[in-house]
Amino acid sequence: MEAGDLAAGIDVGGTKFLGVIVDADGVVRAEQRRPTPSTGDAIIAALGELAGELSAEAGPYTTLGVGMPGLITTRGVLRASPNVPNVTELDVAGRVGELLGHEVAVSNDGTCAALAEWRWGAGRGVDDMVMVTLGTGIGGGLVAGGRLVVGANGFTGELGHMVVDPHGPPCPCGRRGCWERYASGSGLAHLARVAAVGGRLRRVVQVAGGDAQLVRGEHVQHAAREGDEAALAVIDEFAWWVGLGLVNLTNALDPEAFVLGGGLAQGADLYLEPIQKWFGALLYSSDLRPHPALAFAELGERAGAIGAARFAADRLPRRA
Amino acid sequence: MEAGDLAAGIDVGGTKFLGVIVDADGVVRAEQRRPTPSTGDAIIAALGELAGELSAEAGPYTTLGVGMPGLITTRGVLRASPNVPNVTELDVAGRVGELLGHEVAVSNDGTCAALAEWRWGAGRGVDDMVMVTLGTGIGGGLVAGGRLVVGANGFTGELGHMVVDPHGPPCPCGRRGCWERYASGSGLAHLARVAAVGGRLRRVVQVAGGDAQLVRGEHVQHAAREGDEAALAVIDEFAWWVGLGLVNLTNALDPEAFVLGGGLAQGADLYLEPIQKWFGALLYSSDLRPHPALAFAELGERAGAIGAARFAADRLPRRA
């Protein structure tokens, strides 16, 4: 990006759109939100309107990018997305581009978040980085050799569906023991419910209102911060699974740093030490190599939108 | 590489060195072998001698590269290698360079094999490729966005130690259920012995000489080629594990092609179809995306040496 550029980016989340305009230093100059509609046509229209609102707030943008979860082709077509389950083969780039009269770039939200954290967040200055978003599921994005890696089809970073235990619990994707069954927000809740039903988590169940089936990740975090031993044991088990997946990625990709984002990055103080401990225990030739830094994301919920803005700015000509 | 360049490369294997000189088209102009010595000093001396023999055969080389298994830093220092277990912190690039009076580049053998197959073998013309060498263990190398990926320390491609089943059999690396416990040559033998001890593999045990504990991968292959159902079932189980690991790599890296090499690539006719079947069954959103091509390596046992030659030619100045 060059001085004077204003890059617009919109992140299509499960419940809301979050749009921003950033300048060439990554400073947010405009921010707009609206609810995510449920049909493809309404999504296209809403993207167009939000782009207009961003322009009205910060002045005309030079490029526009969109980030969405799911499989987005390199030409900006949404194959399928968990956030808009009835929509397939939606040509987001083509249709929004036609609506607005200029080119639009579209990419996966994990790839966008990785790009944002790499350029303007926790991964600044790192040439080999893996972003892992620990939310309800697990997403992510890759930087290797100083370049964003999008893959042959634009589908890199579906890290949550790495199988880490073929005998594990079933995943909605149809397989068993995907990493996100353990190391995500829903994974932490699952580990906690297993422990709670086994009678090991009295304090956590109290925090959750008395019903073991209602235990969620934040109840475990709450009890763990009080020093509850059983809650800390669940955090430790969770950290083991996070560490295992990070080790698998390190064996393949040898990153200099991981950037951990998503909702669970809020609990960084609880997780960092046990994740590092298990990472060191599980890594191949652990004592013979530098360990990648574990950093927590800095851009929060805006990472996807900021990254979508940067993604387009790096690829598209400026609007006339 | 430019016309007229002669790139020398030496692959340090467990039992032998294999050295080549290739021209700018990848054509092998010289080939030399010698046994792998057991000490660091002897390895350095032998590398120097073999380089001289290659020159004597094909004329002076313009660059020299070395490929070795294990952790090789980007500066060409061997941290540790399974093939020379008592050697650590061996400055291969520095010491061979001093011996010969010119710069030398050193890299991991899986990375070298990937580079060779990408430039001159089964991965020609592909921008996103994962090489997987299925030998006694599993190694590999990565190409992403049209560039070789070496990682922050030069350690990419340790694919065999991706954990795919934390309850699985112990691995010499200290963990359980590493991919190479299942999907390598020793993995196939392990799967076969489990089946044989269970009494399911009569024909295979016959082929192995009557003792279930002596069953190896090639006995399973032999019986499977005769059409033995029980042997084919072991091949199918093996293919499931190969497919699982390839799926995990696809979710992360979205390659256009896998190139499968190593000793097991010899049995391509037996494996290709079941691997493709299980790959399709296990891949996330399998029906919504193109599947990467599964290609078998073309350069055989010379891939490491040819890749080491190319690795150096891409990085080093030509000798004066």
pLDDT score for B266: 78
pLDDT score for B14: 85
Give me the CATH topology for the region A125-297. Nucleotidyltransferase; domain 5 (3.30.420)
| Contact (CB, 8 A) for B295 and B88 | no
Q: CA–CA separation, B111 vs B92, rounded Å? A: 17
Residue of B133, B63, B182, B142 whose CA lies nearest to B300: B133
B contacts of A255 (beta carbons < 8 Å): 151-152
Residue of A223, A306, A228, A225 whose CA lies nearest to A261: A306
Domain A6-116+301-315 part of CATH 1.10.340.30: no
User: Which among A144, A152, A256 has CB closest to B254?
Assistant: A152
Residue B246 has pLDDT above 80, yes or no: yes
User: Which among A71, A288, A289 has CB closest to B289?
Assistant: A71
- Strand partners for A106: A66
Contact B290 A150 (CB under 8 A): no
pLDDT score for B199: 82
**Signed CA dihedral, B116, B121, B127, B128: sign only:** negative
CA distances from B32 to B9, B52, B230 (A): 10, 10, 42
Residue of B226, B218, B162 whose CA lies nearest to B188: B218
Q: CA–CA separation, A263 vs A126, rounded Å? A: 23
Determine phi and psi for A199, rounding to 5 degrees.
85, 10
Q: What is the DSSP string of A114-179?
A: HHHHHHHSTTTT-SSEEEEEESSSEEEEEEETTEEE-TTTS-TT-GGG-BS-TTS-B-TTSSB-BT
Domain boundaries, chain A: 6-116+301-315, 125-297
Contact B163 A248 (CB under 8 A): yes
B contacts of A151 (beta carbons < 8 Å): 128, 144, 253-255
Give yes or no for B172 touching A (CB within 8 A). Answer: no
pLDDT score for B93: 98
Give yes or no for A314 touching B (CB within 8 A). Answer: no
Type and span of the H or E element at A7: strand A6-12
Contact A153 B253 (CB under 8 A): no
| Contact (CB, 8 A) for B292 and B257 | yes
- Chain A's closest residue to B148, CA to CA, is A145
> Average pLDDT for residues B191-203, to the nearest whole number?
87
Residue B84 has pLDDT above 80, yes or no: no
Type and span of the H or E element at B142: strand B138-144
Residue of B261, B263, B299 whose CA lies nearest to B132: B261
Domain at B6-108+301-315: CATH code = 3.30.420.40
- Chain A's closest residue to B173, CA to CA, is A284
User: For A67, how many CA atoms within 13 A lie in the half-sphere containing its CB?
Assistant: 33
Q: CA–CA separation, A131 vs B252, rounded Å? A: 11
| Contact (CB, 8 A) for A262 and A133 | yes
Structure tokens at A115: 């790009």
pLDDT, tens digit, 9 for 90 and up, residues A9-24: 999 998 899 999 999 9
Domains B6-108+301-315 and B122-297 fall in the same CATH topology: yes
Least Cα separation, residue B165 to chain A (angstroms): 5
Residue B212 has pLDDT above 90, yes or no: no
Q: CATH number of B122-297: 2.160.10.10, 3.40.50.740, 3.40.50.2300, 3.30.420.40? A: 3.30.420.40
- Chain B's closest residue to A141, CA to CA, is B252
pTM for the model: 0.96
Which of the residues in chain A have pLDDT under 50? none
SS (H, E, C) chain B: CCCCCEEEEEEECCCEEEEEEEECCCCEEEEEEEECCCCHHHHHHHHHHHHHHHHHHHCCCCEEEEEECCEECCCCEEEECCCCCCCEEEEHHHHHHHHHCCCCEEEEHHHHHHHHHHHHCCCCCCCCEEEEEECCCEEEEEEECCEEECCCCCCCCCHHHCECCCCCCECCCCCECEHHHCCCHHHHHHHHHHHHHCCCCHHHHHHCCCCHHHCCHHHHHHHHHCCCHHHHHHHHHHHHHHHHHHHHHHHHHCCCEEEEECHHHHHHHHHHHHHHHHHHHHCCCHHHCCCCEEEECCCHHHHHHHHHHHHHHHHCCCCC
pLDDT, tens digit, 9 for 90 and up, residues B22-59: 999 999 999 999 999 989 999 999 999 999 999 999 99
pLDDT score for A196: 86
Q: How confident is the model at residue B179 (pLDDT cuts 50, 70, 90)?
A: very high
| Contact (CB, 8 A) for B285 and B156 | no
For residue B316, the tally of other CB atoms under 10 A from its CB is: 18
Enumerate residues 233 to 262 of chain B having a beta carbon within 8 A of any beta carbon in chain A.
Answer: 244, 247-249, 251-256
Q: CA–CA separation, A91 vs A40, rounded Å? A: 9
For residue A170, the tally of other CB atoms under 10 A from its CB is: 11
CB-count exposure of residue B252 (10 Å: 0-12, 13-18, 19+): buried
CA distances from A252 to A103, B142, B156 (A): 35, 8, 5
Q: CA–CA separation, A16 vs A35, rounded Å? A: 4
Q: How confident is the model at residue B265 (pLDDT cuts 50, 70, 90)?
A: confident
For residue B171, the tally of other CB atoms under 10 A from its CB is: 18
| Contact (CB, 8 A) for A163 and A175 | yes
- The structure tokens 């990848």 sit at B26
> Average pLDDT for residues B166-192, to the nearest whole number?
92
Give yes or no for A127 touching B (CB within 8 A). Answer: yes
